[in-house]
Amino acid sequence: MLEGFKRFILRGNVVDMAVGVVIGAAFGGVVTSLTKGVLTPFIGALVKLPDFSNLKYKVRGSDFLIGDFLNALISFLLIAAAVYFFVVVPVNWLLARMVQQQPEPEPTTRKCPECLSEIPIEARRCAHCTQVVMASVV
């Protein structure tokens, strides 16, 4: 039983996924720090708020933390853009380059001029209508 678990854990895709999750979490922390430390103060300076992250309002004693929500929204958009432009676009480009376009195969059939059924290219008579057909030049 433990041998099967060991094989499962050491499979390449599980290890790759674990590395991706750890790096993704670290990247999320960097982007969150960038958002809270650089971007929201810059946006706050543009709209003349001293601290954009402290933007909130009260309704019947409840605080609505709009600034925190905007920080999370900006962080999400930055992470999504980074993943798209630095992972999805390059992988799609590489996959498109790796896939070789296959040449069109030579046709093996043609249409009978009388009944329009498919017949072999080298046929001299249609098997469906028995019409004599000219041998095609390919």
Residues 7-39 pLDDT 10s: 776 776 777 788 788 888 888 888 888 877 787
**Residue 130 — pLDDT band, cuts 50, 70, 90?**
confident
72-101 per-position pLDDT tens digit: 888 788 888 888 888 889 888 887 887 767
Q: What was the pLDDT predicted at 138?
A: 46
Q: What was the pLDDT predicted at 137?
A: 52
Structure token digits, residue 65:
């933390």
Contact 112, 133 (CB under 8 A): yes
Mean pLDDT calculated for residue range 60-79: 84
Give the other-Cβ count within 10 Å of 131's Cβ: 14
Q: What was the pLDDT predicted at 95?
A: 79
